[in-house]
Amino acid sequence: MENQNILLSAQGITKRYPGVVALNQVDLDFHTGEIHAICGENGAGKSTFIKVLTGAIQPDAGCIEIEGVLRENYTPHEAMFNFGISAIYQEFNLIPALSIAENLFFGKELQKNYFLDRKTMNQKAKEVLLSLGVDLDPNLAVSSLSVAYQQIVEIAKSTYQNAKLIIMDEPSAPLTIHEVDKLFNLVHTLKAQGITVIYISHRLSEIFELSDRVTVFRDGCKIVTMPTSATTKNELIHIMVNREVSETFPPRRGQIGHPILEVEHLSTAALLKDISFTLRKGEILGFGGLVGAGRTELARAIYGADPITEGTILINNKPIRIRHPQEAVAQKIGLIPEDRKQHGIISRLSAAENIAYSSFKKISKFGLIQMRLMEQVAQKMITVLRIITPNAQKRVMELSGGNQQKVVLARWLTSDCDIILFDEPTRGIDVGAKQEIYELIIELAFQGKAIILISSEMNELLGMSDRILVMHEGVITGELSKAEATQDKVLRLASGE
């Protein structure tokens, strides 16, 4: 490629966060009018890189040249309006109550005699939509459109603002198969207009169908950029996951017993389809899959946090119905949610209260919480789980992430759960605390608790699980025993092949 064909050139981009290098010396060029796919595991650095390009975050080192001019410290606003870089995120930036035309012209409304010039705006909006090959009435409210059309409006907004580079972050995730075809046509239309598209996707088949070149990120580094036609799916997967296993996991002890939780043909309205599996006493059952595969949704459905449309759940061979988390807790199920701060801890209450929160009944007398008893219970958990806090009265929001996680775990140990659902238990937790959580999980399994471990960290999933179920788009695509599980196999099942 010749130099004048390079639209944007990123050189030596580095971004550090406390304890982690999110981007490490990334060099990457984007050509005018190409469709450039980016792939990598969660946390590989894709999102951070995109945020650097759009000006949402500033890199610690490195520079960006746009059309041959060095640009530094620009804002998302400058990126969009001066340099023509726009990003389509999974959450759209549209105002649902306004019409398509009003959204397209938002902030830059056309006026005539101090009033909105609706006629011209509608006309121009129609032209923009037609140029993308879409015939839509610009008067329609955005809220009345399907997700696919909202996405088109979002893209139309970018092109109307003379975007030269459009970044799409998992654009096909919310779409049906039919809609994805439309999206592909649209991306090709953009390319034909000379617009560069950066296409981020977990779905490898889309990358091969659509892109001219593909770049793989891993652990904050750009590993390779190559013409898509020169590679294969297997090679991409291999590059994505080929990592030295650095973490060690505590040795597995104990025995796996009889089935305790049996899920049969479970479905939900939103995502899950015909999920069946068995969890045994003392077993650590791992759930692998990509973001949006439905693992969190499955945990929530079992826990009664979201409604189930079909299927049965058996606990100790007895069919039961769980319609509310309270009923799950009564069945001795505990959930350690993915979003610890929003869904796990009760942030303003003390560590002691958080630990006792699901067991207040047990420590109350005549309806009054026995403070001394609560203190004892909490203190015991603090000792057993090695929760680092000056005292049990410390507000839980002031503890570190790892200790907050232990507090949530302590809650379920206090309420004497038999089945514990861990959803990304070590996300955002430092390495030392991670090891402790691993040891705790193994210890719990040894004590005969049945454990579901949802994890996007491949090492954790492979290192901890006795058995792994892999999910893709709401269905279980495969089961791997500890012996046969490898990164490649998990990823392949996770991408739905």
Binding of another protein by 373 (CB under 8 A): no
DSSP label of 408: H
Q: Which stretch binds another protein (CB under 8 A): 87-95, 219-227, 342-350, 433-441?
A: 342-350
Selected binder of another protein within 164, 411, 449, 467 (CB under 8 A): 411
**Residue 406 interacting with another protein (CB under 8 A):** no
Separation between Cα atoms, residue 157 and residue 162, nearest integer Å: 9
| Residue 342 near another protein by CB under 8 A | yes
Determine if 140 is a binding residue for another protein (CB under 8 A).
no
Burial of 482 (0-12, 13-18, 19+ CB in 10 A): middle
Q: How far is the CB of 48 from another protein (least distance, A)?
A: 23
Question: How far, in Å, CA of 37 to CA of 204, rounded?
Answer: 10
Q: Does 343 bind another protein (CB under 8 A)?
A: yes
Answer yes or no whether residue 384 interacts with another protein by CB under 8 A: no
User: Looking at 47, 358, 403, 477, which residue binds another protein (CB under 8 A)?
Assistant: 358
- Tell me how far, at minimum, the Cβ of 46 lies from another protein, in Å: 28
> How far apart, in whole angstroms, are the C-alpha atoms of residue 43 and residue 217?
9
* C-alpha span between 267 and 63 (Å, rounded): 49
Residue 361 as a binder of another protein (CB under 8 A): the answer is yes
Residues from 273 through 292 that contact another protein (CB under 8 A): none
Question: According to the binding rule CB under 8 A, does residue 360 interact with another protein?
Answer: yes
For 290, residues 6+ apart whose C-beta sits below 8 A from its C-beta are: 42, 202, 456, 472, 494, 495
Stretch that binds another protein, among 176-184, 206-214, 319-327, 454-462 (CB under 8 A): 319-327
Q: Which stretch binds another protein (CB under 8 A): 134-142, 221-229, 389-397, 460-468?
A: 389-397
Per-residue buried b or exposed e for 258-281, using 16+ beta carbons within 10 Å of the residue's own CB: ebbbbbeebbbeebbbebebbbbb
Q: What share of the chain is helix, strand, coil (3-state, %, to 5)?
A: 35, 25, 35
Q: Is 391 in the site for another protein (CB under 8 A)?
A: yes
Smallest separation, CB 288 to another protein (Å) = 23
Does residue number 328 form part of the binding site for another protein (CB under 8 A)? yes
The reply to whether 321 sits near another protein by the rule CB under 8 A is no
What gap in Å lies between CA 45 and CA 109, rounded to an integer? 37
**Piece of the chain touching another protein by CB under 8 A; list 51-59, 168-176, 313-321, 388-396:** 388-396
**Is 422 a residue that touches another protein (CB under 8 A)?**
no
Q: How far apart are CA 489 and CA 497, in angstroms?
A: 10
Minimal distance in Å, beta carbon 325 to another protein? 5
State the minimum distance, in angstroms, from the CB of residue 394 to another protein.
8
CA distance 116 to 384: 67
Q: Is residue 325 close enough to count as binding another protein by CB under 8 A?
A: yes
Q: From CA 404, how far away is CA 306, in angstroms rounded?
A: 24
Sequence-distant (≥ 6) Cβ neighbours of residue 291 within 8 angstroms: 42, 170, 202, 456
Instruction: Closer to another protein by CB, 421 or 451: give it.
Output: 421
- Minimal CA–CA distance to 198: which of 236, 229, 239, 158? 158
| 371 belongs to the binding site for another protein (CB under 8 A) | yes
Is residue 367 part of the contact set for another protein (CB under 8 A)? yes
As separate numbers, helices (DSSP H) first and strands (DSSP E) second, the chain gives 16, 24
DSSP code per residue over 260-301: EEEEEEEE-SSS--SEEEEEETT-EEEEEE-TTSSHHHHHHH
Interface with another protein by CB under 8 A: which residues? Answer: 303, 305, 324-326, 328-330, 335, 337, 342-350, 353, 357-358, 360-361, 364, 367-369, 371, 391, 393-394, 411, 415
